[in-house]
Amino acid sequence: MKHIPVLLNDVLETLGDISGRTIVDCTFGAGGYSRAFLERGANVIAFDRDTNVIADAEKLKQEYGNKFRFINAPFSEIKQLKSDEFDDVVFDLGISSMQIDNAERGFSFRFDAPLDMRMDTRTDITAADLINNKTVEELADILYEYGDIKKSYKMAALLKEKQPKTTFELRDLIKVPGDIAPIFQALRIAVNDEMGQIKDALNSVDELLQTGGRCVCVTFHSIEDRIVKNTFRKWTENVGDPRLPTIIAPKYKLLKTKTPTDAELDMNSRARSAHLRAVQKV
Ligand SMILES: C[S@@+](CC[C@H](N)C(=O)[O-])C[C@H]1O[C@@H](n2cnc3c(N)ncnc32)[C@H](O)[C@@H]1O
């Protein structure tokens, strides 16, 4: 299924008049956001680490020429850009419908496939390798932290013992049906270092964003959202001890926080856990 962009209208509303601005779309996916930015007169620099999106990116390149640049790399590489190369930054985190629906990628327990889960297939470590390489304690931490799995140690020990190599082998080891999706999600987050990526990229955004520049993040997972919320809170707070006279004014102002409306949820169930947060450098 083609990916339906989530909260796109809210992202556009938050960015305001983008004509002539340059927006970094950190998560190109099917290009829904990038296309909307280009249609409104913006220039776009887009990142995606999945090589499968290159064809869609090339189509936009043909239509928009120099107004569109695609970088097939993790968005933590935003640090390679210079401050004056862009105005605003947008993240639409997580995986796309194309990734989850592509049986061979191993993201979904609905299809039997090698236990892969790499967004970037040029990297080495698949989910099966991760289970093989990590200790029981490390695996238990991953399951607990990213999947909220209560009996995480027991599950981790079972994974180490059985070493599942396919999605169905993994699925069939999980006896509590409600744990299947969270365990797949936890392994995917670890395989792709999703939390490390967002922390790293936000640090670079803070260093590079110019005054007036906006940073908009759409998250789908509570830990991801907590990282964005806490980072934005730090950016928008006064710096210093409130009892002392020298308080440094915040570097950012909060623009928006938003979750999808019922109408959006009816159209797109993937939007269920989506959360938009946006700030502007002042
Ligand atoms: C939710 S989809 C984005 C959908 C897009 N906004 C659209 O409208 O089509 C997320 C995309 O971001 C990519 N992605 C996730 N984490 C990434 C990272 N750290 N670096 C680069 N791309 C990443 C995924 O490969 C996926 O294609």
CB neighbour list of residue 249: distance below 8 Å, 6 or more residues apart:
238, 282
Residue 239: DSSP 8-state: B
- Domain locations along the chain: 8-98+194-281, 121-191
**H-run or E-run covering 147:** helix 136-147
For ligand 1, whether the C-beta of 35 sits within 6 Å is: no
Mutual angle of helices 136-147 and 152-162, in 10-degree steps: 130
pLDDT of 6 reads: 86
Q: Is 47 helix (H, G, I), strand (E, B) or coil?
A: strand
**H-run or E-run covering 119:** none
Instruction: Compute the distance from residue 248 Cα to the ligand 1 centre, in Å.
Output: 35
- The proportion of the chain whose per-residue pLDDT surpasses 70, expressed as a percent, equals 97
Instruction: Compute the distance from residue 158 Cα to the ligand 1 centre, in Å.
Output: 32
Instruction: Compute the distance from residue 237 Cα to the ligand 1 centre, in Å.
Output: 29
pLDDT of 1 reads: 59
Q: Which of 87, 71, 84, 68 is nearest to 22 (CA)?
A: 87
- The proportion of the chain whose per-residue pLDDT surpasses 90, expressed as a percent, equals 85
Task: Tell which one of 6, 23, 28, 70 to mutate to probe ligand 1, the residue whose CB is within 8 A of the most ligand atoms.
Answer: 28
Of the pLDDT bands very low, low, confident and very high (cuts 50, 70, 90), residue 71 is very high
For ligand 1, whether the C-beta of 68 sits within 6 Å is: no
Looking at the structure, give the CATH architecture of the domain made up of residues 8-98+194-281. 3-Layer(aba) Sandwich (3.40)
pLDDT of 142 reads: 98
Residue reference for tokens 């990734």: 99
For ligand 1, whether the C-beta of 232 sits within 6 Å is: no
**Minimum-distance ligand 1 atom for the alpha carbon of 3:** 9
For ligand 1, whether the C-beta of 219 sits within 6 Å is: no
251, 49 in Cβ contact below 8 A?
no
Average pLDDT of the segment spanning 49-66: 97
pLDDT of 144 reads: 97
Atom 3 in ligand 1: residue holding the nearest Cα:
29
**Minimum-distance ligand 1 atom for the alpha carbon of 90:** 6
pLDDT of 266 reads: 78
For residue range 169-204, what is the model confidence (pLDDT) as tens digits? 999 999 999 999 999 999 999 999 999 999 999 999
Atom 24 in ligand 1: residue holding the nearest Cα:
95
Average pLDDT for the chain: 94
Distance CA 117, CA 194 (A): 12
For residue range 118-145, what is the model confidence (pLDDT) as tens digits? 999 999 999 999 999 999 999 999 999 9
**Does residue 166 surpass a pLDDT of 70?**
yes
Return the CATH fold of 121-191.
DNA polymerase; domain 1 (1.10.150)
